[in-house]
A and B are shown apart, each in its own frame.
Chain A
Amino acid sequence: MRLADVPVVGDLLESGAEDRVFDSLLLVGPALILVIAVLGRSAVTIGLAAAYVLFFVAYVLYRGVRH
């Protein structure tokens, strides 16, 4: 079974900016928030969250430069 065949997830993958990286960020987002809620604030969770935000910004800029 492909990821795109999963209900809801499939619709999400079809709807967005037609870019698998953004799709992945969308799918990883809630999982990361859940991890933070469970584990609390630590160097690792701060690192993960900061990496997520920075990667999002950097990837938007990268797409812009490449465009």
Chain B
Amino acid sequence: MNEAARTVGRDLGRIFQALAGLLFVSILVPLVWREYYAIPGLFVSGLLPLLAGYVLTSRFRGAAQPGKLHGMIIAAMGWFCVAIFGSLPFLLIAWTVEFAPPILGDPSQTSTLAAFTNPINALFESMSGFTGTGLTMTDNEEVLPRTLQWWRSFIEWVGGVGVIVLTTAILARPGSGSLTLYESEARSERIHPSIVSTVQTIWWIFILFTFVSILLLWVVGMPIWGAINHGMTGLATGGFSITDNSIATYDSAAIDFALLPIMLLGSIAFPVHYLILQGDLRNLYADLQTRWVFIYMGIGTALLTVLVYIGDTYDSLFTAFRYGSFQFVSAATCAGFQTATDATNVALGRWPVQAQLTVVFGMVVGGAAGSTVGGIKLIRALTLLKGIRFRIADVFYPETAVRRLEINGRRLNEREVRQEFEEAAIIATLWFLFLGLGTFALLLLLPQGEYTLENVIFEVASAQGNVGLSAGITGPESLPTLGKVMFLFNMWIGRLEIIPVLVTLRAIFDRGGLYR
């Protein structure tokens, strides 16, 4: 076995060990809720990654530090394997209830839970959770065992910050290897010079904000179990709910408005949160991305409010603002909570097409890089816009002119502009390419005439942007198996910003002799 495989194997092993810890901690939930039948499933789900992790880390203990290529492969494979192991609780608990062994009591099977006896549905739910997407294979979340309600929220919460960030924080290992892994998980900004300190501070901020979110939701009227789950998934901008109609179930303006700051917190980069907690509030407007989070959400909310109001979707301007602001922020922060559902529980079911496409635009761009959101990210959209303006203006200057482009307080020279612009353009191009491919594939797979083109674009953008709003296409029965496989891929590349997945696939094909 070559050195690269040893490095990848060792670090994958560490990720599996961290995942096993999450599964064992979750055993507390069936104990508290007396769902004892769920304990064996959770225990076995934790034991498998623990053993795999132990074997890999002990066998490849002395492997070299990961380089950039290894980091990308570890990130891509790590996320995929974690999704596979994370699907085990869904699968095993569903089968436990299906068999209903007398020694574990007599839990009642439901069609919602029975859907997870199909491994592809369990894997879909797990990938959707870890990537913070929030599309679901459940028909009715309310009838799921509390253990699985918790596991869905918990994996979104962890996935919001990142599986590798978690591993780096728990199994701290100083050195360049941790930095490489950190950057491979679509992050770059540091809070402290040490990467281990940085990830620990990120978790500190995330945990504190989680408690604040839970308590805020409870104060405005949400029951405590709902507040715990929605506080976690709202801050992580994941969007899994424990109720059938998502946040629409509560039908409370206070809860809707309380969730707005929670989702916004999740869409601001962690280093900015750190500076704000340090007392440096100027970052709310001085930091380019944070400033644009507010500008972008403000413009989107105003536009959506006007569109749904003049489209006669709602009677009053306040109601239009309530639903418009919630759905735009929910989409643009990639949370994917739904309040504007119709009788068939379809997101934005009553909304005019132009309003639905405005929401799609919000999903595509997303929030700040370095936060919990998906999408292309604001900094890339702004780099593209500024870069285009810079290039057009270039024609009006003499060839000898020395020009610089200012982005977020940095003055970039020509070479740096080209580099930043190229990176943003590559990711944006790939993003739209896969959005187009996904849309085309879904149009082929779905029954003809059942869904409109805007529904299909909406659903693929939602999966790839890790948003989770659904136009009603995603479901255990409504989405064909090939469509589920395609969405698994969309969610995976969306979370890792595409390149690490493509690098990994190239490495696999190259090694297997398929690429050349």
List the interface of chain A (C-beta within 8 A of B).
Answer: 11-12, 14-19, 22, 25-26, 29-30, 32-33, 36-37, 46, 49-50, 52-53, 56, 60-61, 63-64, 66-67
Which residues of A sit under 8 angstroms from B294, Cβ to Cβ? none
A49 → chain B, closest Cβ, in Å?
A: 4
Beyond the given pairs A17-B274, A32-B211, A67-B280, 19 more chain A to chain B contacts, judged by CB atoms under 8 angstroms and listed by A's residue number, are A11-B200, A15-B200, A16-B205, A25-B208, A25-B212, A26-B207, A32-B215, A36-B224, A49-B219, A50-B219, A52-B211, A52-B212, A52-B215, A60-B281, A63-B279, A64-B276, A64-B279, A67-B278, A67-B279
Contact A29 B279 (CB under 8 A): no
**Which residues of B65-99 have CB atoms within 8 Å of chain A's CB atoms?**
none
Which residues of A sit under 8 angstroms from B201, Cβ to Cβ? 15-17
A30 → chain B, closest Cβ, in Å?
A: 7
A36-B218 contact, Cβ under 8 Å, with A15-B197, A22-B277, A52-B212: yes
B 138-150 binary contact with A (CB < 8 Å = 1; else 0) = 0000000000000
Contact A64 B212 (CB under 8 A): no
Contact B211 A33 (CB under 8 A): yes
Contact B279 A56 (CB under 8 A): no
**Which residues of B204-235 have CB atoms within 8 Å of chain A's CB atoms?**
204-205, 207-208, 210-212, 214-216, 218-219, 224, 228
Which residues of B sit under 8 angstroms from A16, Cβ to Cβ? 201, 204-205, 208, 277
Q: Interface SS of chain A: helix, strand, loop or mixed?
A: helix
Assembly CA distance A25 to B197 (angstroms) = 20
The 3 closest A-B pairs by CB, nearest first: A29-B211, A67-B279, A64-B281
B24 contacts partner chain A, Cβ-Cβ < 8 Å:
no
Contact A56 B212 (CB under 8 A): yes
Most buried by B among A18, A22, A26, A50: A26
A66-B208 contact, Cβ under 8 Å, with A16-B201, A36-B218, A46-B219: no
Assembly CA distance A63 to B200 (angstroms) = 22
Which residues of A sit under 8 angstroms from B205, Cβ to Cβ? 16-17
Contact A63 B278 (CB under 8 A): yes
Which residues of B sit under 8 angstroms from A15, Cβ to Cβ? 197, 200-201, 203-204
Nearest-neighbor residue (CB-CB) of A64 within chain B: B281
B 503-516 binary contact with A (CB < 8 Å = 1; else 0) = 00000000000000
Nearest-neighbor residue (CB-CB) of B215 within chain A: A49
Total B residues in contact with A, Cβ cutoff 8 Å:
25
A17 → chain B, closest Cβ, in Å?
A: 4
Most buried by B among A11, A14, A17: A17
Which residues of A sit under 8 angstroms from B224, Cβ to Cβ? 33, 36-37
Nearest-neighbor residue (CB-CB) of B201 within chain A: A15
Contact B215 A33 (CB under 8 A): yes
Within 8 Å by CB of A60, from B204, B210, B276, lies: B276
Contact A53 B281 (CB under 8 A): no
Which residues of A sit under 8 angstroms from B207, Cβ to Cβ? 12, 26, 29
Which residues of B sit under 8 angstroms from A36, Cβ to Cβ? 215, 218, 224
Within 8 Å by CB of B211, from A14, A18, A25, lies: A25
A24 → chain B, closest Cβ, in Å?
A: 10
**Which residues of B280-337 have CB atoms within 8 Å of chain A's CB atoms?**
280-281
Contact A60 B211 (CB under 8 A): no
Which residues of B sit under 8 angstroms from A37, Cβ to Cβ? 224
Contact B204 A26 (CB under 8 A): yes
A-B contacts, 19 of them at CB < 8 A, read A11-B200, A15-B197, A15-B200, A16-B201, A17-B204, A17-B205, A29-B207, A29-B210, A29-B212, A29-B214, A33-B215, A33-B224, A33-B228, A56-B212, A60-B276, A63-B277, A64-B279, A64-B280, A64-B281
Which residues of A sit under 8 angstroms from B212, Cβ to Cβ? 25, 29, 52-53, 56
Assembly CA distance A18 to B197 (angstroms) = 12
Which residues of B sit under 8 angstroms from A46, Cβ to Cβ? 219
Within 8 Å by CB of A29, from B208, B274, B281, lies: B208
Assembly CA distance A15 to B205 (angstroms) = 9
Which residues of B sit under 8 angstroms from A63, Cβ to Cβ? 277-279
Assembly CA distance A28 to B375 (angstroms) = 35
Contact B216 A53 (CB under 8 A): yes
A9 → chain B, closest Cβ, in Å?
A: 12
Nearest-neighbor residue (CB-CB) of A16 within chain B: B204
B234 → chain A, closest Cβ, in Å?
A: 14
B341 → chain A, closest Cβ, in Å?
A: 27
Contact B204 A53 (CB under 8 A): no
Which residues of A sit under 8 angstroms from B228, Cβ to Cβ? 33
Contact A67 B281 (CB under 8 A): yes
Which residues of A sit under 8 angstroms from B219, Cβ to Cβ? 46, 49-50, 53
Most buried by B among A14, A30, A49: A49
Assembly CA distance A36 to B216 (angstroms) = 12
A53-B215 contact, Cβ under 8 Å, with A17-B274, A63-B277, A64-B280: yes
A49-B200 contact, Cβ under 8 Å, with A64-B280, A67-B280: no
Most buried by A among B201, B210, B215, B280: B215
